[in-house]
Amino acid sequence: MKWVNVLGGIVGAAALLGLGIILGHFAIPKGTNSQHLQDLDLEILESIMQQLDASRIRENLRELSREPHLASSPQDEALVQLLLQRWRDPESGLDSAEASTYEVLLSFPSREQPNRVAVVSPTGNVLFSCRQSEQNLTGEQGGPDVVPPYAAYAPPGTPQGLLVYANQGTEEDFMKLQAQGIKLEGTIALTRYGGTGRGAKAVNAAKHGVAGVLVYTDPADINDGQSSTNETFPNSWRLPPSGVERGSYYEYFGDPLTPYLPANPSSFRLDPDTVSGFPPIPTQPIGFEDAKILLCQVNVSVYNRLELRNSSNVLGIIRGAVEPDRYVLYGNHRDSWVHGAVDPSSGTAVLLELSRVLGTLLKKGTWRPRRSIVFASWGAEEFGLIGSTEFTEEFFSKLQERAVAYINVDISVFANATLRAQGTPPVQSVIFAASKQIPAPSLGGLSIYDNWIRYFNRSSPVYGLVPSLGSLGAGSDYAPFIHFLGISSMDIAYTYDRSKTSARIYPTYHTAFDTFGYVDKFVDPGFSSHQAVARTAGSVLLRLSDSLFLPLNVSDYGETLRSFLQAAQQNLGVLLEQHSISLVPLVTAVEKFEGAAGALDQRISALQKATPDPLQVRMLNDQLMLLERTFLNPRAFPEERYYSHVLWAPRTGSVATFPGLANACSRAMNTSLGSPAWAEVQRQLSILVVALEGAAATLRPVADF
C-alpha cells in the first residue's frame, strides 16, 4: 500500500470520526434537554377532547346524585370511597389518591324537634303551620336522608311576633320600613332571597330589633313569575310551590371554629358561643306556597344544633414529568343539600370523566403532563367553602410556593345557552384559546367562543370585542385560592340565555327537587353542555399543565388596572381632590405595570422564537405564576377575614374599581377632613400603589434588581 493511500485513509477516517462527533454533539438532542422542553401536544389534546364522553358524564351524574349526600353524612362518605376507587383504578386511575379529613363545625336541624313556622291567634292557638318538608313529587323528596329545609348556623329560638314584609332584607329595606313608621321591634321579618347574602338579612333585621327572620323564594325571582303546580316541576324545570332553598347563613367561609388554622382534631378551636358571623336571631327558609299565606302573628321555632363532624376532601394526583413541583389544581365540592344533581354533582360528573380520560392515557403510558395535576373533591362547601378553605390553611406555604392556577367547576351546567367563565385576568387568554377550538353543542360547528361572545361580551381596548370574563366573588371553592392565597383562579360553567329567563339561579337550587331526573329531562338532555364544559375545562387544564411557557397572560392585568383606574378617576377623582388626595402615584404605578408587562410579553415572544433554555423558561414561568401573589397584602383589610388580594376584596359600591380605595372613600365621604376615615383612604391608596409597584417589579427582567 502506498503511503499516499495510508495517509488518505487516515485523513478519511479522521474526517469520518470528526463528522460523527459533530453529528453526535449537535444533531442529536440530549435526552434530558429534550425532555425539559416538553410542550403541549395538540394531537393528544384533540384526542382527549374526543374521548370526553357525554353519556359517561350522564352515568356519573346518576351515580353521584342517587342519594342525598349532605356534608359528613354516610352517603357523602360513600362518595369519598367512590372517588378513591375511581382515582385508584388500575386502568383509568391517577398516580395516587388520598382522602384527608377535618373536624369541622356544621349545623343541622334537630330530628326530634323539627323547625316550625306557624300563624298563631292572639290567644296562642295555631291557626296555620308551614310545611316542614317539601312535597314528595317524584318519590325522591321523602325519607330520612332528605334534610328538612333550614338555615344552617341560624341559632335556635322560638320568637313570636307580628309579621312584617321586609322585601330582600337589605339595610335599605329596613330603613324604609322604619321611615314609614313601622315598628320593627319584636317582629318577624318575612324576606325573599336575593339582593344580599343569606346571613346578612338576619344581621340587618337584628339591628332593628327584629326577633326572627323568614326567607322565601319568590316565583318572580326564580320562576319567571310562574307558580302553579302544572307549570312547575315535574312538569317543567321551575320550582314547585313547596320548594325551599336551604343554605348556609354563616357570614365568612371556612370552619367557623378554626379561622386561619386547618380544622385538625388537635387544632385550637374558638368557643362556639363567641364565634362571630352566625345569624344573630332565629331564621328559617320557607317555600312561596307558605309565604303567601302568612300574616298577623307568627311563631318561628328553630331547633338547629351545632355539631362537630368529620368532613373529607379527596385529592387525586398526576405527577408532572418535568416540573413535578408546579401544581395545576382542578376541583369541585362533593356535598349537596339534598340529591344535588346540579349543585354540585354536575361538576363532579365532569371532573370524574376528565380524570378517567387522563388517567387512562397515563396508565397506558402515552402521556404524562409537564407539571403535576391535583384533582380535588372538597367537603362541606355548602356550609361555607369549608373543605377547600381548610385545605388552603393546611397547605398554605406549599401552595403559595408552587400552585400555578386553580380551576373550579362547581355547577357545570345551569342551562344550555352559553359558556360562562369567571376568573382573574391572567386566565382569560387560556380560556379563550381553549374555547375557540371546541364546537358549541348543537350549533353546527360554531365554536364555544363564538357562541359565548354572542351572550356575554365587552369591548376591549386591546382586543376589540371579546367574551367578558366575570370576576370572582366568594360563591364557590375558588374563594380561598384567589382571596387568601393569591393563586390565579377561574370558574367555568354553561348557563342561561338571559333574554329567556330572569331566574335568579336555576329554580330548584338547594331544594329537594334538584335530582338526576331534573337534569336529564330539563337542564341538559343529552348532556352535550356537560360535555362542552368537560372539554373547555379539560383543555384549559391541559394547556396549563403541559405548555412549556405558562399560558397566563399577565399583561391582561394591565387592562383591568387601567379600567379600575379610570373608574376611580371618574367616580372618586373629584372627592379625592377636594381632600387633597392625589391619584398621580396610582397612575404612575399602573403605567409601570403596563410597561413591565408589555416588555415581558416581548421577551416571551423572543424566547419562543429561539431555542428556549429550560432554566430561562422556568425563571420566566415563575414570574408569570407569582404575579398574582404580589397583589396579596394580609394587612390590607384586617376586618375582612381571608381577603388579602388588594384587587378583588369585596366592594360595597357598584363601580368596578379598586375595592380598598372605593370602600374607604364611601366610609370617609361624610366625615370631616382629617378624620381617621380619610387617613384610611390614604392608607388604602398607598397599599394599592405599593402592590402595583411590587407587581411591576416581579415582571421586570430578573437580573435588574
Q: Please, which of residues 637-656 interact with a copy of itself by CB under 8 A?
A: 638
Active site residue 381: yes
Give the number of other Cβ atoms within 10 Å of residue 574's Cβ.
Answer: 9
Give the number of other Cβ atoms within 10 Å of residue 88's Cβ.
Answer: 16
Residue number, 24 or 144, with CB nearest to a copy of itself? 24
Minimum gap (Å) between residue 568 Cβ and a copy of itself: 15
**What gap in Å lies between CA 113 and CA 121, rounded to an integer?**
22
Q: Is 545 in the site for a copy of itself (CB under 8 A)?
A: no
Residue number, 17 or 606, with CB nearest to a copy of itself? 17
Can you state the percent helix, strand and coil of the chain, rounding each to 5? Answer: 40, 15, 40
Cell numbers at residue 691, please?
402592590
Q: Is 669 in the site for a copy of itself (CB under 8 A)?
A: no
Q: Which residue has the cell 354553561?
A: 494
- For 340, phi then psi, to 5°, come to 55, 55
Minimum gap (Å) between residue 657 Cβ and a copy of itself: 18
Q: Is 11 in the site for a copy of itself (CB under 8 A)?
A: no
Biggest CA-to-CA distance, the chain: 132
Cβ atoms 642, 484 nearer than 8 A: yes
Cβ atoms 71, 107 nearer than 8 A: no
Residue number, 199 or 369, with CB nearest to a copy of itself? 369
Minimum gap (Å) between residue 700 Cβ and a copy of itself: 9
- Residue 521 exposed, middle or buried by CB count within 10 Å (0-12, 13-18, 19+): middle
Q: Please, which of residues 575-614 interact with a copy of itself by CB under 8 A?
A: 582, 584-585, 613-614
Residue number, 107 or 644, with CB nearest to a copy of itself? 644
- The size of the chain, in residues, is 705
Minimum gap (Å) between residue 624 Cβ and a copy of itself: 12
DSSP readout, 261-295? S---TTS----GGG-SSS-SS-EEEE-HHHHTT--
Residue number, 446 or 581, with CB nearest to a copy of itself? 581
Q: Is 23 in the site for a copy of itself (CB under 8 A)?
A: yes
Residue number, 216 or 406, with CB nearest to a copy of itself? 406
The three-class DSSP label of residue 318 is strand
Q: Which residue has the cell 391517577?
A: 94
Q: Which of 67, 140, 251, 381 is catalytic?
A: 381
Q: Is 549 in the site for a copy of itself (CB under 8 A)?
A: no
Q: What angle do CA 674, 676, 681 make, to 5 degrees?
A: 90
Q: Please, which of residues 298-327 interact with a copy of itself by CB under 8 A?
A: 315, 317, 319-320, 322-325, 327
**What gap in Å lies between CA 630 and CA 193, rounded to an integer?**
37
Binding footprint of a copy of itself, residue count (CB under 8 A): 81
Residue number, 70 or 636, with CB nearest to a copy of itself? 636
Q: Please, which of residues 395-454 interact with a copy of itself by CB under 8 A?
A: 395-398, 401-402
| Of the residues 622, 653, 675, 677, which one makes contact with a copy of itself according to CB under 8 A | 622
Cβ atoms 114, 130 nearer than 8 A: no
**What gap in Å lies between CA 323 and CA 615, rounded to an integer?**
11
Give the number of other Cβ atoms within 10 Å of residue 432's Cβ.
Answer: 20
CA separation (Å) from 565 to 250, 339, 571, 652? 33, 45, 10, 17
Binding mask 447-486 for a copy of itself (x = CB under 8 A): ----------------------------------------
Q: Is 267 in the site for a copy of itself (CB under 8 A)?
A: yes
Give the number of other Cβ atoms within 10 Å of residue 679's Cβ.
Answer: 12
- For 459, phi then psi, to 5°, come to -100, 115
Q: Please, which of residues 79-108 interact with a copy of itself by CB under 8 A?
A: 96
Binding mask 204-243 for a copy of itself (x = CB under 8 A): ----------------------------------------
| Of the residues 158, 626, 667, 677, which one makes contact with a copy of itself according to CB under 8 A | 626
Q: Is 673 in the site for a copy of itself (CB under 8 A)?
A: no
Residue number, 32 or 578, with CB nearest to a copy of itself? 32
Q: Which residue has the cell 358524564?
A: 57
Binding mask 322-361 for a copy of itself (x = CB under 8 A): xxxx-x----------------------------------
Q: Please, which of residues 28-67 interact with a copy of itself by CB under 8 A?
A: 28, 30, 32-33, 36
Minimum gap (Å) between residue 634 Cβ and a copy of itself: 4
Could you list the active site residues? 381
